[in-house]
C-alpha cells in the first residue's frame, strides 16, 4: 500500500486535541473521516506529535496508507474538500517510502508560543495567543531560558501524567524575541528539540513569564531545573498561543 506524508495546519480551539477520542472532536478523527470519503473504509493515520486540546499547528506531519497510487496534489485537494468547514488544511502531500513514519522518522520538532501584551481583550487573535496585561522583560527571560538549553533531567517541567520513559531530554534552542503583531506587541518563544515531554513547552513558557514579569529572578530557573521536582515549576501557561511549527526529517519530505 503506497504511503503518503501529509503536512497539516490546524486551529486547535474546536478540538479535544490531535488524538482520536470517542465522542469528542479531534484533528486525527477529522482527517481520517476525510480519508474515508476519498477511499471508503477505515483509516488510521500517525502523526509526528500529539498536540493537546487548544494547541495549534503550522506544520504538523502525519502519514496515511492508500490502496492505490495518488498524485500528491490531487490527494491533498481531495482531503481539503472533505475537511471543510473544519479549521484543518492539508498544505502538502508527498509520496514516501513504505517504512517511513511521521513520528519515528522525525529528528526534530519546533514549537512557537505567542504571548500578546495588551490590557484589552484579544479579538481577532482570540484563542490564538496567550493575552497578558503587563509588559515582559525579554532579556531577563532569555537569561533564564539559556539555563534550560542542553541535556538535562527536565522532571520539573514534565506533566505528572507524562508517559515518556525518561525525563532526560536535550533542548537545542529556546529563543525569545519581541515582535510587533497586528494586535499589539507580542513575545515569541522558539523552542526546538528532537522530542519533548508532556507539557514541557508550556511549563517553560509559564515559568519564564514569571521571570519576565519580575516575580522570579533568572537564576530561579536554574534552581527549579536542578530541583527535579514538579512542584518547583512555575505556573503552566494555557494552550492558546502554542503552535507545532515544524517537524524535521533526515531527508526533507516537503
pTM metric for this prediction: 0.96
User: Residues of the chain with pLDDT > 70: what percent?
Assistant: 100
What pLDDT does 160 receive? 87
Strand duo 184-193 + 108-117: pairing: antiparallel
Report pLDDT digits (tens) over 23-47. Answer: 999 999 999 999 999 999 999 999 9
Please state, in angstroms and rounded to a whole number, the distance separating the CA atoms of residues 47 and 28. 8
Residues near 55 by beta carbon (within 8 Å), at least 6 away in sequence: 12, 17, 239, 242, 243, 244
HEC assignment per residue over 118-173 = CCCCCCCCCCCCEEECCCCCHHHHHHHHHCCCEEEECHHHCCCCCCCCCCEEEEEE
Neighbours of 231 (CB within 10 A): 7
Annotated catalytic sites, by residue? 52
Question: pLDDT class for 123, splitting at 50, 70, 90?
Answer: very high
pLDDT > 90? residue 22:
no
Which structural domains are found in the chain, ordered by start?
3-105 (3.30.70.580), 108-247 (3.30.70.660)
Amino acid at each position: 500500500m503506497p504511503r503518503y506524508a501529509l503536512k497539516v495546519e490546524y486551529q486547535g480551539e474546536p478540538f479535544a486535541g490531535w488524538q482520536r477520542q470517542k465522542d469528542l472532536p479531534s484533528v486525527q478523527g477529522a482527517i481520517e473521516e476525510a480519508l474515508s470519503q476519498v477511499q471508503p473504509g477505515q483509516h488510521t493515520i500517525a502523526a509526528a506529535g500529539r498536540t493537546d486540546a487548544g494547541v495549534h499547528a503550522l506544520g504538523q506531519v502525519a502519514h496515511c496508507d492508500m490502496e492505490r497510487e495518488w498524485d500528491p496534489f490531487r490527494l491533498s485537494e481531495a482531503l481539503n474538500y472533505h475537511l471543510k468547514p473544519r479549521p484543518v488544511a492539508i498544505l502538502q502531500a508527498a509520496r514516501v517510502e513504505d517504512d517511513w513514519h511521521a513520528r519515528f522518522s522525525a529528528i526534530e520538532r519546533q514549537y512557537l508560543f505567542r504571548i500578546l501584551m495588551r490590557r484589552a481583550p484579544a479579538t481577532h487573535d482570540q484563542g490564538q495567543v496567550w493575552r497578558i496585561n503587563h509588559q515582559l522583560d525579554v532579556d531577563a527571560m532569555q537569561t533564564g531560558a539559556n539555563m534550560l538549553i542542553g541535556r538535562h533531567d527536565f522532571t520539573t517541567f514534565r506533566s505528572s501524567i507524562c508517559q515518556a520513559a525518561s525525563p532526560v531530554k536535550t533542548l537545542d534552542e529556546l529563543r525569545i524575541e519581541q515582535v510587533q503583531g497586528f494586535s499589539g506587541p507580542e513575545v515569541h518563544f522558539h523552542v526546538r528539540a528532537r522530542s519533548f515531554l508532556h507539557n514541557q513547552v508550556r511549563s517553560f513558557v509559564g515559568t519564564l513569564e514569571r521571570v519576565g514579569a519580575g516575580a522570579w529572578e533568572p537564576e530561579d530557573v536554574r534552581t527549579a531545573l536542578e530541583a527535579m521536582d514538579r512542584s518547583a515549576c512555575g505556573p503552566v501557561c494555557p494552550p492558546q498561543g502554542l503552535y507545532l511549527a515544524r517537524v524535521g526529517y533526515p531527508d526533507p519530505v516537503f
